[in-house]
């Protein structure tokens, strides 16, 4: 089994996408947690920002990250001819 250039591009695209999404994940999780005390000064609709992020905001972003990844990877699969047949 020989990998073509398109296959290699596909994998690099995947690595880039994964890395970007993990950076977002890292920021909303750990950077937010690190600066939770100053962030608590900001209020949105009654919540201190750090409480809102930890209780709801970051969760919504996690769901969005996974959804975006699934959509984007389907596109990549088709573009590089590594998609699976529908309804196996």
Partner 1 sequence: MAAVSQKTFFQQLKKYYTFYTGGFIGFVILLAIGEQMGMTPKWIGYCFLVFTILLYAGIGIMSRTVEVSEYYVAGRRVPALFNGMATGADWMSAASFIGMAGTLYLTGFQGLSFIMGWTGGYVLVALLLAPYLRKFGQFTIPDFLGARYGGNIVRSFGVMAAILCSFTYVVAQIYGVGVITSRFTGLEFGIGVFVGLAGILVCSFLGGMRAVTWTQVAQYIILIVAYMIPVVWLSVKHTGVPIPQAVYGTVLEKLTQREKQLTSDPKELEVRKIFADRAKAADDKIKALPASFETERAVVVKKLEDLKAASAPKAEIDAAEAAVKGFPATPDAAKAKWTADKAGATGRSGPPLKHSEPYPGKDEKARDTSRLNFIGVVFCMMFGTAALPHILMRYYTTPSVQEARVSVFWSLFFIFLLYFTAPALAVLAKFDVYTLVVGSKFSELPAWVNAWQAVDRTLLNITDINKDGIVQLAEIVIGGDIIVLATPEIAGLPYVVSGLVAAGGLAAALSTADGLLLTIANALSHDVYYKMINPNASPTMRITVAKALLLVVAIIAAYVTSLKPGNILFLVGAAFSMAASAFFPALVMGIFWKRASKWGAIAGIVAGLGVCLYYMVHTYPTFMQWFGTAPIAKWWGLDPISAGMFGVPVGIITIFVVSLVTPAPDKDVQELVDHVRYPNLVGDIDTRGT
Site residues for partner 1 per CB under 8 A: 1, 3, 7, 10-11, 14, 18, 21-22, 25, 29-30, 33-34, 36-37, 39-40, 44-48, 50-52, 54-56, 58-60, 62-63, 65-67, 69-70, 73-74, 77, 82-85, 87-88
20-50 per-residue burial string, b: 16 or more CB within 10 A, e: under 16: ebeeeeeebeeebeeeeeebeeeeeeebbbb
Q: CB pairs under 8 A, 24+ apart, for 47-56?
A: 53/28
Query: Least CB distance from residue 40 to partner 1, whole Å?
Result: 6
Query: Least CB distance from residue 49 to partner 1, whole Å?
Result: 10
Looking at the Cβ atoms of 5 and 25, the one nearer to partner 1 is 25
Q: How far apart are CA 58 and CA 50, in angstroms?
A: 10
């Amino acid at each position: 089994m020989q990998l073509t250039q398109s296959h290699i591009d596909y994998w690099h695209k995947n690595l880039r996408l994964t890395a970007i999404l993990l950076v977002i994940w890292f920021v909303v999780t750990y950077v937010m947690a690190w600066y939770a005390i100053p962030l608590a000064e900001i209020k949105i609709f009654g919540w201190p920002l750090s409480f809102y992020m930890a209780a709801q905001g970051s969760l919504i972003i996690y769901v969005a990250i996974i959804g975006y990844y699934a959509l984007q990877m389907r596109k990549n699969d088709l573009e590089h001819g590594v998609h699976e047949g529908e309804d196996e």
